[in-house]
Structure 1
Amino acid sequence: MDLTDPPRRARGESIVPMINVVFLLLIFFLMTSRLAQPDPFEVTPPDAGLEGEAKSDDVLYIDATGRLHFDGSEGRAALSRLASAPGKTVQLRADARLQATDLARILRQLAEAGLTHAELVVRPQ
């Protein structure tokens, strides 16, 4: 009768440190990333030869028919919501097919709402 202890198996490498590193990387990327809302409708900006950085985080979307969208509101509600926004500068993401007369009308409405500066978002050529 053999009463000796059976030989012990070698312990495998623990993967817990690797899992910790993966979760730390995930937390790092979640903390440093900036999530953006999807566009409310398809807008193709016009082309332009000049480039510049946008200075405002408020974005007013305008489609080819002149429909307005800002922060979940459309039409007149979008204008009133935009007027109550803290900044007085707004980015205009207007469709390239939008008529200039419609854009001029919208700019007048923005001025009446109290906005002092509008930036038109364009695609570089």
Structure 2
Amino acid sequence: MDLTDAPRRPRAESIVPMINVVFLLLIFFLMTSRLAQPDPFEVNPPEADLETPLDADATLYVDKAGRLSFDGQDGDAALARLAELASADAVLQLRADAELEAATAAGLLRDLSAAGFARVELVVSPK
């Protein structure tokens, strides 16, 4: 009669720690990544009492000096890129700085109208 213990099978390595590390890395990369394209420059919008939601197809950024930025393009290249997207029913969102001169804004609106935009929405901050 053989009373010795039966040989034990080697225990398989647990993959739970590896799964934990993968999930921690996933959470880290999701928290540190940027899901939206950053603004090209700081814009402080003017204040207004209007709280209508904006519905726009594209966003044009204008700083207080009148510098334009759209889709990675600056200045006249931004206007040319906008002209490619313009249509009769296209809505443009204008994120202009509060310190932008009115004459510069009026000239910009004239240029946008000539490019084919019939509707431009100005982004404002609530009072």
TM-score, normalised relative to structure 1: 0.76
Q: List alignment gaps of at least 5 residues for structure 2.
A: none
SS at match of 2:43: coil
Query: How far apart are the structure 2 equivalents of 1:7 and 1:60?
Result: 70
Residue 55 of structure 2 aligns to which amino acid in structure 1? K
Provide structure 1 residue ranges, at least 5 long, that are not aligned to the other structure. Answer: none
How far did residue 3 of structure 1 move?
Answer: 3.0
Alignment counterpart, residue 103 of structure 1, candidates 95, 105, 109: 105
For these two proteins, the number of residue pairs brought into alignment is 119
**Seq. identity, %:** 49
Correspondence for 1:82 = 82
1:54 paired residue number: 54
Shift in Å at residue 70 of structure 1? 0.5
Is 1:123 the equivalent of 2:118? no
Give the SS at the match of 2:61. strand
- Deviation digits for residues 26-51 of structure 1 (CA, Å, limit 9, x no counterpart): 6xxx8xxx932100001000101111
Q: Distance in 2 between matches of 1:100 and 1:39?
A: 22
- Report the alpha carbon displacement of residue 86 of structure 1 after superposing the two structures with TM: 5.4
CA-atom RMSD, angstroms? 3.6
Output the CA distance in 2 between the equivalents of 1:3 and 1:86: 86
Alignment of 1:18-97 (within 5 A): 35-85=35-85, 88-97=90-99
**Distance in 2 separating the partners of 1:14 and 1:93:** 50
Aligned counterparts of 1:4 and 1:120: Cα–Cα separation in 2 = 82
Structure 2 distance, partners of 1:48, 1:86, is: 27
For residue 4 of structure 2, what is the aligned residue in structure 1? 3
| AA aligned opposite 2:16 | I
1:119 alignment partner, SS class: strand
Name the amino acid aligned to 1:111: S
